[in-house]
Amino acid sequence: MGAPPQLTADQRSAALAKAKESRQIRSAAKNRVKSGELSLSDIFMLAEKDSFIAKMRVFDLLAALNGVGKIRATAIMERLNISPTRRIQGLGKHQISALRNEFSPAKSRGKLIVLSGPGGVGKSTIAAYIREHGTFWVSVSSTTRQPRKSEKNGVEYFFLTEEEFDQEIAKNHFLEWAHFAGARYGTPREPVEQGLLAGRNVLLEIDIEGAKQVKTQAPEAILVFLEPPSWEELVSRLERRATDSPQRRAERLQLAQEELAAASFFDHRLINDQVESVVQKLLSLASAH
């Protein structure tokens, strides 16, 4: 490769200004994708006229799409044989149409994935990771239990009074609901249905009783039972989490023995050894079904 051309000070500052403008345009476009204002097809159309947009990385575009995130973007690109560094201008006709198909509004219904398992196995840790990375859309449950210190209404849960929960049941607003450890928990039906209709894969992180109800109402749901690597590891996770008194922990462990016996009801069993590897396996299950 020859030496780079010598630029005058003016040429260098013009090149820097152009690079800055290009970054700003791409960043603004990504934000409009994130907010849902622009679709993937809109960006492909813009890229035909705008060389800055055409230079946007496909990975950045996919990861910005609502409900996609970095893990799913990587998985989609691998499946469609698109190089991780590919820019929009470098996509072939078939790749563009495969991507359009993947995100077309007329796309088939999303998958409903139910993650359950014994207390302390790591269900909410996995759900939090998936929510953060946008792997699937994660349902926000309603509960009558009190919020923990770090929890915010509408983020981890919708915290309802007993009366409000009763009203939701009466209006048939729950896809399922169950009693757990002295409180009630339920999955709001409407956002789940909307997500599935929009072609999104939806994850419910719920207890075993709730999982059984979902299977009755939606037999196509994929039921996944999360297991600890060993009984000792389950005990030590509950101890390390340190959210329960010793007596409460003993009750949880007693209940966990019954919960572990329910594994055979589920379609799939996954051992929660490493969070990222569980998430990858959930992705594979959703694609395979």
Ligand X SMILES: Nc1nc2c(ncn2[C@@H]2O[C@H](COP(=O)(O)O)[C@@H](O)[C@H]2O)c(=O)[nH]1
Ligand Y SMILES: Nc1ncnc2c1ncn2[C@@H]1O[C@H](COP(=O)(O)OP(=O)(O)OP(=O)(O)O)[C@@H](O)[C@H]1O
- Footprint of ligand X on this chain (CB under 6 A)? 119, 123-124, 141, 145, 176, 178, 180, 185-187, 205-207, 209-210
Amino acid, single-letter form, for residue 85: T
Q: Nearest approach, Cβ of 178 to ligand X (angstroms)? A: 4
CA distances from 106 to 77, 138, 235 (A): 21, 22, 47
Q: Which residues bind ligand Y (CB under 6 A)?
A: 119-125, 237, 240-241, 272, 274-275
Q: Nearest approach, Cβ of 259 to ligand X (angstroms)? A: 8
Contacts of 99 (CB under 8 A, 6+ apart): 40, 58, 62, 76, 80, 82, 91
Q: 61 or 207: whose CB is closer to ligand Y?
A: 207
Q: 98 or 140: whose CB is closer to ligand X?
A: 140
- Tokens 């929960």 belong to which residue? 165
237 binds, among ligand X, ligand Y, none (CB under 5 to 8 A by kind): ligand Y
C-alpha count within 13 angstroms, C-beta hemisphere, residue 224: 27
Q: Nearest approach, Cβ of 249 to ligand X (angstroms)? A: 13
Q: Nearest approach, Cβ of 150 to ligand X (angstroms)? A: 12
Q: Nearest approach, Cβ of 230 to ligand Y (angstroms)? A: 12
CA distance 163 to 160: 8
201 binds, among ligand Y, ligand X, none (CB under 5 to 8 A by kind): none
Amino acid, single-letter form, for residue 89: Q
Q: Which helix (H) or strand (E) is 268 found in, with range?
A: strand 268-271
**The CA-based dihedral angle spanning residues 238, 243, 249, 253, taken in that order and rounded to the nearest 10 degrees:** -40
30 binds, among ligand Y, ligand X, none (CB under 5 to 8 A by kind): none
Which residue's Cβ has the minimum distance to ligand X?
210
Q: Which of 20, 29, 93 is nearest to 57 (CA)?
A: 29
Q: 207 or 227: whose CB is closer to ligand X?
A: 207
272 binds, among ligand Y, ligand X, none (CB under 5 to 8 A by kind): ligand Y
178 binds, among ligand X, ligand Y, none (CB under 5 to 8 A by kind): ligand X
Amino acid, single-letter form, for residue 203: L
Q: Which helix (H) or strand (E) is 175 found in, with range?
A: strand 174-180
Q: Nearest approach, Cβ of 125 to ligand Y (angstroms)? A: 3
